[in-house]
Amino acid sequence: MTLRSEILVNKNVLPTAEQALPGRETPMSLPEFHYVFEGTPLLGPFFEGAIDFAIFGLGCFWGAERRFWQREGVVSTVVGYAGGFTPNPTYEEVCSGLTGHTEVVLVVFDKDKVSYRELLAMFWELHNPTQGMRQGNDIGTQYRSAIYCTSPQQLDEAKASRDAFQAELGKAGFGAITTEIDQAPTVYFAEAYHQQYLAKNPEGYCGIGGTGVCLPPSLQGN
């Protein structure tokens, strides 16, 4: 059995750059406008508000994206793949375990209406960040927990919130957080049908489920 076929069997193993699929140069074609925020460009430009970007991986991106677009102050959301090696992968390639990517939500938000710390609180409380290469019954490297930061300040805030949430998880009997926290890599956008999927398919699958543990109030505000 080759290394590549072993990875195909065990999707909890991240591939090396040499083992990863080659991908392609052409990015996915996306709709011009957000399906939920009518008239709002999916990827901008955004002319109003103090706009910033956050990137979170917390399991299947369908349910995660819906929770973020429901948050007041969020201007747009886009789902995609990040943290791996394969450029412009397809959904099927990511699911194979041979790209190294995890499913992520790019959150565009107005800092005057919602803070990054408030979004971090949502991130931690919406999933179980102690499970490694899975989220509930969704198993594989593409479901691992991740925060990809777009500035040094975001990186500092993400690490501080992780330490605080770890303390609360420990009190509740949970293990160590396995969330990957790093500077933002390239986000490769997912296929058009994945964008705002649960708005188009309200009865579709949603794997979102937290631990019931909350961040301390002092770390949930501005």
- Exactly one of 60, 95, 149, 214 is catalytic; which is it? 60
Q: Comparing 221 with 28, which gets the higher pLDDT?
A: 28
The whole-number pLDDT of residue 222 equals 62
Say if residue 181's pLDDT is above 50: yes
Question: In this predicted model, what pLDDT tens digit does every residue of 116-164 receive, in sequence order?
Answer: 999 999 999 999 999 999 999 999 999 999 999 999 999 999 999 999 9
Say if residue 105's pLDDT is above 90: yes
| Average pLDDT, integer, range 10-27 | 94
User: To the nearest 10°, the Cα dihedral for 153, 157, 158, 160?
Assistant: 140
Q: Place 34 in a pLDDT band, splitting at 50, 70 and 90.
A: very high
Alpha helices of the chain — where are they, by DSSP H?
3-9, 61-69, 91-95, 116-125, 152-171, 197-200
Smallest CA-to-CA distance from 59 within 148, 143, 181, 146 is with 143
**Percentages helix, strand, coil for the chain, rounded to the nearest 5?**
30, 20, 55
Structure tokens at 205: 């699958």
Structure tokens at 8: 């195909």
Q: Place 216 in a pLDDT band, splitting at 50, 70 and 90.
A: confident
| Average pLDDT, integer, range 193-213 | 97
Q: What's the residue count for the chain?
A: 222
The whole-number pLDDT of residue 9 equals 45
Task: Provide φ and ψ at 158, rounded to 5°.
Answer: -65, -45
| Average pLDDT, integer, range 102-113 | 98
CB-CB neighbours of 87 under 10 Å = 17
Say if residue 207's pLDDT is above 90: yes
- Which residue bears the tokens 């605080």? 164
CB-hemisphere CA count at 13 Å for 111? Answer: 8
- Clarify whether 60 is annotated catalytic: yes
Bridge pairing between strands 180-183 and 146-149: parallel
The whole-number pLDDT of residue 5 equals 45
The whole-number pLDDT of residue 49 equals 85
Q: Comparing 163 with 219, which gets the higher pLDDT?
A: 163
pTM for this one?
0.94
Q: Place 110 in a pLDDT band, splitting at 50, 70 and 90.
A: very high
Say if residue 1's pLDDT is above 50: no
Say if residue 2's pLDDT is above 60: no
